[in-house]
Structure 1
C-alpha cells in the first residue's frame, strides 16, 4: 500500500490530535504561528527559506513505468527525503505536480538547500525536480511563496533544466518578462516566426540547450544539420546576424519576452501554485 504523508502526534494538541506537515505549512502561509511546531521538532525562526517545487516524470523511464508511479507514494517519499536532508520535520504543501516547502533558516540551512537538488535526485530516481528558493521573514511568507512560484513558472516556461534556482539565476529573465513597451518591442522581433511553429520550437529547445546543436538534435530527434538550417532561417526571418554573434543576446531576450506576450495559461508551467494543486 502507498505511504501516507506524515502526521506527527502532538501531546499539546487538544484531544491528542495530530498535525500534518501541510496543516502547519498552511498556518504559516496564512500569516499565523503554529504553537505546536517546536513540540513537533520543527525549529521556529523569524526567517524562512520558501521553496517552490515542480515534479515531473523522467522521460527516460518506460511509459508503463511512468504510469505506474503512485502520486501519493511519490509525495510521501519526497516528504521523507526532505525531513532526512534537513534533519527535522519540514512543513510542506505538496501535490502530484509540485508544491511549497518552508524551511526555517538556521546556520547551515543555506548550504543544505544548495545540495538539496542532487540529494533529491538520488532518492527520487523516477522524478525530475525543479526548485526555486526565496529567503523571507516569517511575516512575509505569503508574498514570498507567491514570488517563488512565479520564478518557478518562469524557469519551466524557459525550459530550464531541473535543478535549484535562486532569484539571481533568473533576475535577467524576470525583468524581461515585466509588462511594458520594452517587452512588446522585443517580443515583436519574433513575429515573422509565428507561421513556422517548428522554428519556434527549435529556437526554444536550442536556447534551452545552450546552443549545443547535438543536444538540440537529440532532443528534437532530427539531424544536427537540420538545426543549422533552421537557425539560419530564424536569423533570416528576424533580420538578425547568424548565431554566435552578439545578436544571439537579442534573439534570447526576444524569445523570453515573446513567451510572456503570447503566453498560454493552460500550460502545466503556468499552473505552478502555492497550494501544490
Structure 2
C-alpha cells in the first residue's frame, strides 16, 4: 500500500464522516483497515469484527480508486433510520477524491502513465475500475480508440544529453515527447498519450472516422468492415502514424519507429490493440529496421510465422482475403493455381480457360488484395491465408 493511498484514505474517512455525519471505514484491496472516523460517540469500532459488521445492511460499501490502487469505503447508515442514497454518497466520494487529486498530485502525468500502462498491459480487468480511474484523471475513454505505439528510445537519450547535467531529468524528456505528440494531433481532449517506460509511448487515438478525417482517404473504412470493427479506419491510422513519425523525427533529429494497433471493441479491447501494435513494432524493427510505421497487415510472411496468437493470425487471414469475399471464381482460381505449383499453363488447362483469362484473373486478385500471387512472398501470404480460412471452416 502506498503512502498516497493511505493519505487519501485518512482524508476520505475524516471528510465523509463529517459531511454525512456518520461513521466511515476505509480498507485496502485485502480488506485491511486503513482509516476510520466515528461520528457517534457511543459507536465503538472493533477491528476484528470490522469485516462482519461492515457487510451488514447497516453499511453502504463503495469502491475507492486512487490511481493504480483499489480499496473500499464503508459508510454506516444513519442511526436514526434514515437511509443514505448510494448515488449521493458516490458523488460525494468522487468529488472529494477529485479535489484531493488536484490539490496533492501535481505530477498528474506520472499517475496517468501508471493507469494507462496497467490498462494496456492487462493489469486492470474490470471496466468500472478503468472508468473510475480515468474519470479522476480527466481522461475520456468513451470514444472508440486504437493504440499507436511510438518507440522513442534514441530521442530520449538524445534529449537527456542535450539538457544541462544539473537539470537533467528523465521526466522532463518524457513530458517533452508527450507534449510533442499531443500538439501534433492538436486534439488534447481526444488524444491520450502516456509514457510506458523503456522509451515507448502509447497514444490512445480516437479511431472513429470523425477524429481521423485529416488522414482519411478513399480506402478508409472499406473492405475491413465485414470483419466487424478491427480493421476499420486502419489506413487512416497508418497515415496518422506516418505523419507523426515525420514530425517527431524533425523535432528530435533521431531514429524512431511506430507500431499501429487495430481497434478492438470495449475498454479492455485497448489491451489487444496494444498487443497488436507491440508485435508489429517488434517484428517490423527486426526485419525492416527503424524510421518506419508498422502494422500487422504490412508485415508479410513474418506476421504468419512469428505472431503467436492464433486468433490474430485468423483475423489477419480473413482481412487479407476479404476483398475476395464475393469473388468465388477468383478464390477457386487461386486454389487451382497453388495446387499446380503456380504454373500458368497447367492452371489454365485445369480451369478450361485461355491463359490470357488466367492472367486477367491474377491481375484482378492483385488489384483487389494488394498481393500478387505470382510473387513468392505474396503468394505464400495468400496461400497461408487460404489455409487458415479453410481450417476455420469459413
Provide the TM-score with structure 2 as the length reference. 0.36
Question: Larger Rg: 1 or 2?
Answer: 2
Q: Which has the higher contact order (CA 8 A, sep 6+)?
A: 1
